[in-house]
Amino acid sequence: METLTLKYGCNPNQANASVSCEGKLPVTVLNGRPGYINLLDALNGWQLVSELQKATGLAAAASFKHVSPAGAAVALELDETERRMYMVSPKAELSPVATAYVRARGADRMSSFGDFIALSEQCDLSCAKIISREVSDGVVAPSYSEEALKLLSAKRRGSYVVLQMDKSYVPPVRETRVVYGITFTQDHNSFIPSDRDFSSIVTKNKELPQWARRDLTVALCALKYTQSNSVCYAFRGQTIGVGAGQQSRIHCTRLAGDKADLWLLRHHEKVLSLPFLPDLSRNDKDNVIEQYLAEEKEEDVTADWQKYFEHRPEELTKEEKKAWLRKAKGVSLASDAFFPFRDNIDRAARSGVSYVSEPGGSVRDDIVIQAADEHGMTMCFTSVRLFHH
């Protein structure tokens, strides 16, 4: 049995923390000293991105915070608007894995602050340069180029956590965990979405293009490693809103939908053209954009514009926001368990959802299907619940 001693447990007062497994550990520390939550994020994130690459054939990345993905994505080339949204130079050459991480981080930049990164492929210099400019706790990948490892090892004054995962590692079929001295045992969840999981279309609208299947796959893979209850909105190969750990499913749908709305509104030219001061940090820009788009501002960024802007920005009105969101369409939505009421579907429609995946099995399935039909959505039942605790 190999054991790795950790910095501390969930909290600094929880000492004597370690991870171990029979035989050789599949994860190697290349730099830094990981903590308990770092390893939880790394192992969950690694499973997500490796399964996402298997399901789609594309490089994948995830941005984890507190054992749930703030964002997950596959490597679809960024268009001009997305480069502006994610603060990527139009001339910057991005490798597939770097592109995937830019998307994963850009899904919810506020939540990704201080994330743990998971990459499905070798971290090259292109990706390391993106990581080096973000506030992050660490990264896990199957390998690193020499230049990438050198750059990442210098991050955070040399303390940045860099982990290497053995791609050939296969976990045992049976997994256990101990809670309050009591051991729980279950089979490992081996579900990976495929086209057959989208074959049971229950709505009148049967249209489900391949790109929507890809987005639903992204959402389902993300949900499998998101603390339940959970709901995920996805678009163009990435999550755009993740609602995690809510006791009520409608609260998951609202939380994730509000995040998706912010992502959609960030495409608006008024947001893209905000006249930030040239030396304003990326993190300050993220915070200001969040406040600029908020319905109820904690502070009026337009009233105190000199802190952030070269000149007073033009307001994006409530009416303009509603008009912009009404144009949204083609968004995919997945849920880790069935929708018990139609209110989830009605809320999803406000964020441009056209495609829905859920397990089915509610006594009110007919009411939920009717709601999807009224909104012209395509909905499929997977018959697979994806709770994660």
What integer pLDDT is reported at residue 304 of this predicted model?
A: 77
Residue 290 within any structural domain of the chain: yes
Q: What pLDDT is recorded for position 30?
A: 98
Provide the residue range defining the domain that includes 103: 2-170
Same domain, 223 and 369: yes
Here the CATH number for the domain that contains residue 243 is 3.40.140.20
Question: How far is the CA of 169 from the CAs of 21, 27, 151, 250, in angstroms?
Answer: 12, 9, 27, 38
Question: 37 lies in a domain?
Answer: yes
Total domains in the fold of the chain: 3
At 305, the pLDDT band (50, 70, 90 cuts) reads: confident
Q: Is 255 among the domain residues? A: yes
* Percent of all residues in the chain with a pLDDT value above 90, rounded to a whole number: 95
Output the six-digit token pair for 348.
Answer: 């999803």
Show which of 170, 200, 223 is a domain's final residue. 170
Q: Are residues 70 and 216 in the same domain?
A: no
Give strand pairing partners of 29: 163
Residues 228 and 100 in one domain: no
Residues 247, 373 share a domain? yes
Task: Specify whether 346 is located in the same domain as 293.
Answer: no
Same domain, 121 and 232: no
Residues 216 and 358: beta-carbon distance below 8 Å: no
Instruction: Find the mean pLDDT for residues 136-150.
Output: 98
Question: pLDDT digits over 94-106, tens only?
Answer: 999 999 999 999 9
> What local confidence, expressed as pLDDT, does residue 222 receive?
97
Scanning the structure block, which residue is given the tokens 């905000």?
274
Cβ within 8 Å of residue 57, ≥6 positions away: none
In a domain, 16, yes or no: yes
Supply the pLDDT for residue 1.
84
User: Same structural domain for residues 67 and 204?
Assistant: no
Can you tell me the mean pLDDT for 327-332? Answer: 97
pLDDT of residue 301: 66
Q: Is residue 303 a part of any domain in this protein?
A: yes
- The yes-or-no verdict on residue 299 having pLDDT over 70 is no
Please give the positions annotated as active site.
65-66, 229, 389
DSSP class of 101: H
Q: How many CA atoms lie within 13 A of 350 on its CB side?
A: 15
Q: What is the pLDDT of residue 306?
A: 82
Write phi, then psi, for 84 (nearest 5 degrees).
-70, -45
Phi, psi of 286, deg, nearest 5: -60, -45
Q: Which of 170, 201, 220 is the last residue of a domain?
A: 170
Q: Is 320 domain-assigned?
A: no
Q: Say if residue 360's pLDDT is above 80.
A: yes
Average pLDDT, rounded, for the chain: 95
Q: Report residue 188: phi and psi, to 5°.
A: -65, 140
The pLDDT score that the predictor gives to residue 160 is 97
Residues 19-78 have pLDDT tens digits of 999 889 999 999 999 999 999 999 999 999 999 999 999 999 999 999 999 999 999 999
| pLDDT score for 22 | 87
Give the model's confidence band at 300: pLDDT under 50 very low, under 70 low, under 90 confident, else very high.
low
The pLDDT of residue 302 is above 80: no
Q: Does 375 map to a domain?
A: yes
| 219 and 358 belong to one structural domain | yes
| Residues 289, 252 within the same domain | no
pLDDT value at 182 more than 90: yes
Residue 263 binned pLDDT confidence (cut-offs 50, 70, 90): very high
Domain boundary among 170, 200, 224: 170
Domain identity same for 226 and 345: yes
Whether 120 is in a domain gets the answer yes
Tell me the residue ranges of DSSP E strands in the chain.
2-5, 18-21, 27-31, 60-65, 68-74, 115-119, 136-141, 161-165, 174-179, 182-187, 230-235, 238-244, 331-335, 353-358, 378-381
Q: Are residues 258 and 281 in the same domain?
A: no
Angle at 146 between CA 142 and CA 147, to 5 degrees: 115
- Cβ atoms of 62 and 238 within 8 Å: the answer is no
Of 274-283, 298-307, 368-377, which range is least confident? 298-307
The answer to whether residues 91 and 208 belong to one domain is no
Q: Residues 202, 194: contact at Cβ < 8 Å?
A: no
Burial 255-287 (b: 16+ CB within 10 A, else e): bbbbbbbbbbbbebebbeebebeeebeeeebbb
